[in-house]
Structure 1
Amino acid sequence: KGDRVAVYLPMIPEAAVAMLACARIGAAHSVVFGGFSADALATRIQDADAKVVITSDGGYRRGKPSALKPAVDEAVTKAGNVEHVLVVQRTGQEVAWDADRDVWWHEIVGRQSAEHTPGAFGAEHPLFILYTSGTTGKPKGILHTSGGYLTQAAYTHHAVFDLKPETDVYWCTADVGWVTGHSYIVYGPLANGATQVMYEGTPDTPHQGRFWEIVQKYGVTILYTAPTAIRTFMKWGDDIPAKFDLSSLRVLGSVGEPINPEAWIWYRKHIGGDRTPVVDTWWQTETGAMMISPLPGVTHTKPGSAQTPLPGISATVVDDEAGEVPDGGGGYLVLTEPWPSMLRTIWGDDQRFLDTYWSRFEGKYFAGDGAKKDDDGDIWLLGRVDDVMLVSGHNISTTEVESALVSHPSVAEAAVVGAADETTGQAIVAFVILRGTAAETETLVAELRNHVGTTLGPIAKPKRILPVAELPKTRSGKIMRRLLRDIAENRELGDVTTLTDSTVMDLIQAKLPAAPSED
């Protein structure tokens, strides 16, 4: 009880089992996404002072075994203090073995009693630490406790997805290494007795219809996925989901970043058959559970808006002086009252907790996200405040410019950054992936600039638009705009260890000198 356990596993049932086993004995788990490097793992083991690491020989990625244990061996050597490494045999790969430290999961679990009485713990007993990236580069260990966290995870999972545990088959496509996997694969659904799909694999292995094949095979009724995935499916083409029977689906959810209206409409039409509600959920690692979301069958939904705080949640949008903005105004998203699943601190650093979340607006939690209210008072998320560009004194959200670009028929996906500019303070630089049929020409680039100008106003016209084959994404699907900013400002690239594929950056850099800049 009270110890910390690091969990570094692929998307296999043992990941959920390990987390719940920690919860039953009162040891806080720190799950580290299985795609992180040995260095990233070592930092997290060290910060939490974990005694035990639970891992596997490897996992399967794109149909091939991918080793995990070597990274753990390296991390444990760097971090020190780890007493045991518990290893699940998943792929049967050869692994280095330390007889004093390493233990096979099947050998130790196989000889335990099938009966175990869980410990009883106070509501404020630490349940888990989950590290999220910090602006300084040092990850922040977000601490969640037992009672309030479970209450809100279970309540929101039930209410936002209209869960009917006896009949629903629920599938959240996240990884347990992220907060979405904690709250909406492990704790919320299991507390509610949901039947769910857990998938180790990528959406395009062995073919691009893999997700829809799974929906059809298991009769999935509720699907929860990320806008990045939805935009990827759009890029692959409408004909792929059309080959599968998706009529079992009744609620679709979106999580991870603001969803652009185009993707929302495509998701509802091509996946939901134009009949399913789409719940666009806003929340964070720090909030522990959903905070702002439409309720299916209750809210009259608007494509691209998270809309209203859930019952019991107090969220609003304020200006620089902490005054609430009127309907139609924009500013910063804040939470004004406590909520059950709120983070309790940053592990081992109470001061950083106060500085990061509570110093900007007195008595209010500042989420770090920009938002606006529409004329009805519904909330629209504009992405991270550091993704808001200041162009000639105007605040322009990267999300809005990206949405404008994606609404053009030739664009599949876009990432926008503000690069330092002598004249305007910041200049808008856009990186776009074109749809299969579109040809990369100067005429098209000019057309895209004008399209943004028409949609958002001349001030929002990108100074440069660079068509690229791929965008730099983390393994959870978030676009690393920081790296694109480095490129746009001709700087040395920052840390690329969390990227799914770091060669993407070389390809983008190679294109830069040739790119014509616009006046």
Structure 2
Amino acid sequence: MSTDSTSQGIESTLHENRVFQPPKAGEVGASRWLVESFAEYKSMYDQSIADPESFWATAAEELHWFKKWDGVLEWNAPDAKWFGGGTTNVCYNCVDRQVESGHGDDVAIIWEGEPVDGSGAPVDVRRITYKELQTEVSKLANVLKSKGIGKGDVVTIYMGMVPELAVAMLACARIGAPHSVIFGGFSAQAITDRVQDASSKMIITCDGSWRRGKVVPLKDNVDEAISIMKDSGNQPVEHVLCYGRCHNDIKWGELDRCWNEEMEKASADCPCEQLDSEDMLFLLYTSGSTGKPKGIVHTNGGYMVYTYLTSKYTFNLIPDEKQVYWCTADCGWITGHSYIVYGILPNRVPTVMYEGGPDYPSGARFWQMVDRHKVTQFYTAPTAIRAFMKWGDEHPASCKLDSLQVLGTVGEPINPEAWMWYRNHIGRGVCPIVDTYWQTETGGHVITPLPGATPTTPGSCTHPAFGIDAAVVNTDGEEQPANTGGLMVIRKPWPGMLRGVHGDRQRFIDTYWSTVKINGQPVYTAGDGARRDEHGNFWIMGRIDDVINVSGHRMGTMEVESALVSHESVVEAAVVGMPHEIKGTGIAAFVTPAPGFEASDELIAALREHVGNEIGAIAKPDMIRFTAALPKTRSGKIMRRLLRSIAAGEHEITQDITTLEDFSVVAKLAEKDES
């Protein structure tokens, strides 16, 4: 077991030694890899660090600019300006550029709705070309303008995963109106908080959305939010535009307008606004430790270039190669913004959108969709992969999955066991896995393998993306030795970086730029613990507030979770700290048993012993509690702060749980006596 005697080091005690070399392109059915070797990656990466302005100028020149930039970068930490003086339009680069280059008949979006017929076939499938997308986006942009929406006016979008959600985002981008997309599962109070913070003049919504065979009443939630805002005396919304998806009963109020009727009247002629590179493209709210959501600001030029380039290289996107790309995220999250819409459309590879649940009507739904649409790149979250494992191997085994070329994971570190299952059962034992590390704040991937170039190890996100000067340091800014944990920082600016927290400059500085300084200059602190191994691979050890200090040893919860999940009886685990009389902090584990295993004292003893063997006696959980499900946010992240309260025996929940997906999980956990 490695040991670090400093108070700033996070001990790394779990070692994974399996290494998988990237396959040859032909082994997965690809024509070629854009980056064909680690040496080629290293050469490109070194150039991107040594001369970032030249590197990013070359990348930006692959896209359309109305006016070329005066300079690539102005940097006065923590403030960056990329492509200053340049004017562009993200919607133009996603849509119009493809139409004007003769590819208007190419498919831009493949959409599948959730409902199925008696044979299990989807009722709703749409294939939307770039020309059709241009028409719809232009019409909606004119609808927005007819309601007084213009450059700088924030539009809130609260919709299900229908193509009209992408249309709404692109229409806002077309006219320079920043959008704030809210995940369709959020409550009226969550809508209220975000609309008021952004001072949104308009909400675009749906009557409802399908989720596991039921209609989610989106419009009702908007109505309730409007009512809450009126009662509070702070109601900035002037118009609500409602798209008819499910045709469930809704109420029409004085602010409401019908999408379908407004679109029928609208002209399809709406030229793109020429926007400054640093004009705001969107706001996206992310959870804060205080409970008050932070409105992360992203701008046009830098974000556009960064998501375009990371999409291209991470997923090996090549137009005209019959590729079909599918990211299973929702556009309410940054993953949907960057890697369903804004990064994929400029690469001219069809992007798949799916409306509903991954297990409706059965656990084979995703794999049937992969076969149906001949998906070549598949991007999902570890929490989904663990669910697939729990549902059984027979579901992927019932499908061919032979179109797949690249697999990706996103959202949290992936346990090695889940990584191996993904490779073997979905990737046919050959598809490379790109384990992508990034955040809402980074705009795009910051550490990731490249599928044809990077040797991969289960659980490691491997090496930095182009232009990312990442390091693991202590709080004095000193780089940590190999296999010693510390803080993940990025030492130089990159185009996709956030430009601020909406309306709260001090929070922007305090959250991201005040923890670490190097040579007197603040550097971006991600809030994650990490280590680099002797091969230079990065390993994410979890959020800094997920580090447990056990008898003076600082341990990342991720490693204990990985040890638990590597046992055959465990499909998912969450580990948090709990008060302990002797150690100060003990280890509490919440475990979901695999099918065929039941909670028992014998299983608790076996799991404690297993963790001891995998990591060391100090990592043995002091408490193991079995649960059918873990409390998660609607983006699939485990709510560890909530579990800490439960482990501490607190009977009243004080955290913000508006993003909790299933409230019954908390009630069941809180009822149980400690094991």
Q: 1:108 aligns with which of 262, 278, 300?
A: 262
**After the TM superposition, which residues 353-368 of structure 1 pair with which residues of structure 2 at under 5 Å, given as runs?**
353-362=508-517, 363-368=522-527
Q: Give the structure-1-normalised TM-score.
A: 0.98
The residue aligned with 2:128 is none
State the distance in 2 between where 1:485 and 1:196 align: 39
1:109-148 aligned within 5 A: 109-148=263-302
Letter in 2 for 1:495: D
Give the letter for the 2:277 counterpart: A
Cα deviation, 1:19-41, whole Å, max 9, x if unaligned, reads 00000000000001111110010
Matched letter for residue 29 of structure 1: H
| 1:154 corresponds to 2:308 | yes
- After TM superposition, list the pairs within 5 Å mapping 1:264-279 onto structure 2: 264-279=419-434
Alignment-derived partner of residue 76 in structure 2: none
CA deviations over 1:384-419 (Å, ceiling 9, x no partner):
111111111111111100000000011111011111
Q: Give the alignment of 1:436-455 within 5 angstroms.
A: 436-455=595-614
Aligned partners of 2:443, 2:656: CA distance in 1, in Å? 27
Contact 2:318 2:347 in 1 (8 A): no
* 1:184 to 2:334 alignment: no
Matches of 1:136 and 1:410 in 2, distance apart?
36
What are the superposed Cα offsets for residues 141-185 of structure 1, whole Å, 9 maximum, x if unpaired? 000000000100010000000012321100000000000000001
SS in 1 for 2:275: coil
Partner in structure 2 of residue 46 of structure 1: 196
Select the residue among 495, 507, 511 that pairs with 2:668: 507
**Which aligned pairs between 1:214-225 and structure 2 lie closer than 5 A?**
214-225=369-380
Q: Deviations over 1:350-389 (max 9, x none)?
A: 1110011000012210000000111112110011111111
Aligned-residue CA RMSD (Å) = 0.9
Q: By how many angstroms is 1:506 displaced?
A: 1.3
Question: Which sections of structure 1, spanning at least 5 residues, go unmatched?
Answer: none
After TM superposition, give the deviation of residue 495 of structure 1 in Å: 2.9
What is the alpha-carbon distance in structure 2 between the residues aligned to residue 205 and residue 93 of structure 1? Answer: 20
2:354 & 2:582 partners in 1: Cα distance? 49
Aligned counterpart, 1:71: 221
| SS in structure 1 of the partner of residue 190 of structure 2 | helix
**What corresponds to 2:542 in structure 1?**
383
CA deviations over 1:330-365 (Å, ceiling 9, x no partner) = 101000000001000000111110011000012210
Alignment partner of 1:316: what SS? strand
Q: 2:317 aligns with which of 157, 160, 163?
A: 163
CA deviation after TM superposition for structure 1 residue 439, in Å: 2.5
> Bigger relative contact order, structure 1 or 2, given CA contacts below 8 A and separation 6+?
2
User: Does 2:158 correspond to 1:20?
Assistant: no
Give the aligned partner of residue 2 of structure 1. 152
In structure 2, C-alpha distance between the alignment counterparts of 1:487 and 1:313, rounded to whole Å: 38
In structure 1, distance between residues paired with 2:581 and 2:278: 51
Verify the 8 A CA contact 2:371 2:403 in the aligned structure 1: yes
Query: Which residue number corresponds to residue 484 of structure 1?
Result: 643
Tell me, in whole angstroms, the C-alpha distance in 2 between the residues paired with 1:93 and 1:409. Answer: 44
In 2, Cα distance between equivalents of 1:60 and 1:303 = 35
How far 1:296 moved relative to its partner? Answer: 0.6
Alpha-carbon distance between aligned partners in 1 of 2:437 and 2:389, rounded to the nearest angstrom: 22
> In 1, distance between residues paired with 2:585 and 2:452?
43
Larger radius of gyration: 2
1:292-307 matches, within 5 Å, as 292-307=447-462
Letter in 2 for 1:323: E
SS at match of 1:198: strand
Residue 77 of structure 1 deviates from its aligned partner by 2.8
Q: Give aligned pairs, total.
A: 513
SS at match of 2:430: coil
CA contact (8 A) 1:328 1:377 kept: no
1:12 maps to a residue whose letter is V
Instruction: Specify the code of the residue in structure 1 equivalent to 2:350.
Output: T
The corresponding residue for 2:127 is: none
Aligned to 2:195, the other structure's residue is in SS state: helix
Instruction: Note the C-alpha offset of 1:311.
Output: 1.8
Identity of aligned residues (%): 56
Separation in structure 1 between the aligned mates of residue 366 and residue 214 of structure 2, nearest angstrom? 18
Alignment partner, residue 88 of structure 1: 243
Q: Secondary structure at the match of 1:297?
A: coil
Shift of 1:322: 1.4
Q: Which residue of 2 aligns with 1:416?
A: 575
- Give, in whole Å, the separation in 2 of the partners of 1:93 and 1:233: 31
Structure 2 equivalent of residue 346 of structure 1: 501
Return the letter of the residue paired with 2:467: G
What do the CA deviations read for 1:35-68 (whole angstroms, capped 9, x no partner)?
Answer: 1110010010000000000001111111222211
In the TM superposition, what is the alpha-carbon distance from 1:328 to its structure 2 partner?
2.0
8 Å Cα contact 1:165-1:195 kept in structure 2: no
Amino acid at match of 1:431: F
Q: Could you tell me how far 1:425 is from its partner in structure 2? A: 1.9
Taking the aligned partners of 1:78 and 1:239, their CA distance within structure 2 comes to 47
User: Which secondary structure does the structure 2 equivalent of 1:154 belong to?
Assistant: helix
Alignment counterpart, residue 57 of structure 1, candidates 207, 210, 213: 207
Aligned equivalents of 1:105, 1:413: Cα separation in 2: 42
Secondary structure at the counterpart of residue 354 of structure 2? coil
Does the residue aligned with 1:339 lie in a helix, a strand or coil?
coil
Match in the other structure for 1:238: 393
Correspondences of 1:186-205 after superposition (within 5 Å): 186-205=341-360
Q: 1:496 maps to which residue?
A: 657
Q: Distance in 2 between matches of 1:320 and 1:335?
A: 14
Whole-angstrom CA distance in 2 between matches of 1:45 and 1:31: 10
C-alpha distance in structure 2 between counterparts of 1:412 and 1:205, whole Å? 20
Which residue does the alignment assign to 2:87? none
Are the equivalent residues in 1 in contact too, given 2:475–2:515 (CA < 8 A)?
Answer: no
The residue type equivalent to 1:60 in the other structure is W
- Distance in 2 between residues matched to 1:361 and 1:308, nearest whole Å: 22
The answer to whether the Cα contact below 8 Å between 1:41 and 1:75 also exists between their aligned partners in 2 is yes
> What stretches of structure 2 of length at least 5 have no aligned partner?
1-150, 230-234
User: Post-superposition shift, 1:240?
Assistant: 1.4
Deviates more, 1:315-324 or 1:247-256: 315-324
On the 8 A contact 2:154/2:180 being kept in 1, the answer is: yes
Q: What amino acid is aligned across from residue 53 of structure 1 in structure 2?
A: I
In the TM superposition, what is the alpha-carbon distance from 1:319 to its structure 2 partner? 1.4
AA in 2 matched with 1:299: T
* Structure 1 partner of 2:631: 472
Q: Deviations over 1:172-212 (max 9, x none)?
A: 00000000000001100111112121000111110111000
1:372 aligns with 2:539: no
Does structure 1 residue 208 correspond to structure 2 residue 363? yes
C-alpha distance in 2, partners of 1:152/1:164?
17
Structure 2 distance, partners of 1:115, 1:92, is: 29
1:197 counterpart SS class: strand
Q: Is the 8 A contact 1:405 1:451 kept in 2?
A: yes
Distance (Å, rounded) in 1 between the aligned partners of 2:420 and 2:285: 33
Provide the residue aligned with 2:444 in structure 1: 289
Question: In 1, distance between residues paired with 2:598 and 2:221?
Answer: 42
Q: Offset of 1:496 from its aligned partner?
A: 2.6
